[in-house]
Amino acid sequence: MTVRGLWSRSRLGAAVVGVGSLIALSLLPVTAAAGAAVRYEAEVATISQGVVESNHLGFSGTGFVNYDNLVGSYVQWTVNASAAGTATIGLRYSNGTTTNRPMDITVNGVLVSDELAFGSTTNWDTWATKTITAAVNAGANTIRATATTANGGPNVDFLDFEVAAPTSDYQAENATISQGVVESNHLGYTGTGFVNYDNVVGSYVEWTVSAAAAGSASLAIRYSNGTTTNRPMDITVNGALVADELAFNGTTNWDTWQDATLTAPLNAGANTVRATATTANGGPNVDRLTVSGGTGGDTEPPTVPGNLRSTGVTSSSVSLAWDPSTDNVGVVAYDVYNGRSTRSRSRPATPPVCRRPRPTRSPQPPVAACRAWRWRPTSTSVGAARRARRASCRPPVSSGSRWRSSSLTAHATRPGTAPAS
């Protein structure tokens, strides 16, 4: 989810921000659906004994963290997981020396990687990613990378965080069986056996599966078919057909197993998944059903960051403030852009100071806009000049499975001029 508020500035003056340049306020959420990697820039993390720099090439975001050359310097990120599980953590770094700069990696205060090596990347403009896995809790988690030698840590660009979608196995022998029998006379099955369908149309296995929240899930039916003939089955979820005569082709012999997969919507709570034979050969031997996902992800967008305003102006900078956004998971940061270039990034409690851009001959009137994905914003006010008019978002227009940008405009006056009409 990303929400942006765009506005341009009029001539600099008392309690007025900037000159003629376009700035975008971007709200970055802290979580995504399970299985989707989320990037957390180092420059907006908590930094102890290090500094944000941008004097080398190839970094992401607005810069990177240069660790001080001492033991104990660290960067700590707060990340969010939509569900507890095993996370994949990728640390992008650069080490222009020939000496390893190891770091201890802790998750929620627990050491998960002792003196993880961050070897040379040849020069400071070349970046590599070090990847580990660790257990995380549902919700907020802290990940800290701490230097363990007097050289400090490498330059650190960002952390990528991904929690694998939760999976659940449902054995066929424990499901509801109609016109079939549990057997164990072939090799390679899991659990205590498998279901051998009777050779009739309509024989089936039906599982009851659970989903934490409504959403799409991946269904994988592990089966064996020792014949050369396809044994198709209809797959229904909660009585609705989701796969018509799904193919279950031959697996060479009855001791060889493979998965037939599909994606289907699940409701929050209990769901029934039925695999029904559609030919007189019946179905294949079925071992289990594996359900991946179905957590629904984080589908609630953050609110609009409202009341954008200036809190102080000097000859070379502008201090900004706004009413904070709220989110069911949390807000990572607000980005401030000058055109397409990032001007600064601020944590929720730390509004940025923007340096004054070069004056333009024809200052443009301020313009505000907001964007969101699958979201119908209501309204917000944007004020960064002495006088600004209230503005409201127009609902976005549906475009396939996503939303196009919506926008709002507000004209603010330069000092000593009448409000724009």
Q: Band the pLDDT of 333: cuts 50, 70, 90.
A: low
- Detail the DSSP E strand segments found in 164-301: 167-171, 176-178, 180-183, 194-197, 204-211, 215-224, 233-237, 240-246, 258-266, 269-277, 285-293
Rounded Cα distance, 117 and 134, in Å = 16
Is 413's pLDDT higher than 90?
no
Greater confidence (41 vs 408) lies with 41
Global confidence as pTM: 0.51
Integer Cα distance of 34 and 140 in angstroms? 14
pLDDT of residue 215: 86
Between 5 and 339, the higher pLDDT residue: 339
Q: Single out the residue of 347, 406, 405, 382 nearest to residue 23, CA to CA.
A: 382
Residue 323 pLDDT level (bands cut at 50, 70, 90): confident
pLDDT of residue 387: 27
pLDDT surpassing 70 at residue 161: yes
3-state SS, residue 66: strand
Beta bridge partners of 243: 235
Each residue's pLDDT tens digit, 245-282:
999 999 999 999 999 999 999 998 899 999 999 999 99
Cβ pair 221, 260 in contact under 8 A? yes
Q: What is the pLDDT of residue 340?
A: 46
Which residues, listed in sequence order, are joined to residue 221 by a DSSP beta bridge? 260, 289
Reply yes or no on whether the pLDDT at 28 is more than 80: no
